[in-house]
Amino acid sequence: MTSDVPHHQTEAPPSSGATPIAEPSELQRMRAERDAALEELAFLREQLRSTEAFYAHRFELEYARLYAEHRGFLQELSQLSADFHRRSRRDDAMREDTRPAPSEPGDTPTLPRPR
C-alpha cells in the first residue's frame, strides 16, 4: 500500500509554478529593502501633504489679497464715476445759466417800466 502524501523529510512539495522559497538571508534582505521603500514612501507622502497644505495656504492668502485689491479697484472706479457725473451735472447747470446774449433787438426781453 502506497500513500499519495509526500514524505516531508525526503520529498519536496509539488510545485504550483511559484518561485522556490528563498534562503533566510535573502528573505531578510528583501524585507529590509521593502521596509526601506515603505519608509521612503511614507516620508514622500508626508512631504506631499505638507507641500499641498503650504500651497493651499498661499493660494488662500493670494486669493484674499487679490479679492481685496479687486474690491478697492471697484470702489475707486465707483468714486471716479460718481465724481464724473457730479462734474457733468454741474457743468450742464453752468451752461444753462450762461445763455448767449440776444443778437437782434427784438429778442431782448422787455422789462416792466417803473410807475
User: What's the average model confidence in pLDDT over 4-23?
Assistant: 56
The pLDDT of residue 91 is: 82
* Lowest model confidence (mean pLDDT) among 9-13, 55-59, 70-74: 9-13
Q: Is the pLDDT assigned to residue 61 strictly greater than 80?
A: yes
In the numeric block, which cell numbers belong to residue 87?
462734474
Q: Which one-letter DSSP state was computed for residue 6?
A: P
User: What's the average model confidence in pLDDT over 5-22?
Assistant: 54
Helix runs in 10-113, H state only: 24-97
Q: Which one-letter DSSP state was computed for residue 9?
A: T
Q: Which one-letter DSSP state was computed for residue 8?
A: T
User: What's the average model confidence in pLDDT over 81-100?
Assistant: 81
Q: Is the pLDDT assigned to residue 84 strictly greater than 80?
A: yes
52: nearest Cα among 40, 41, 60? 60
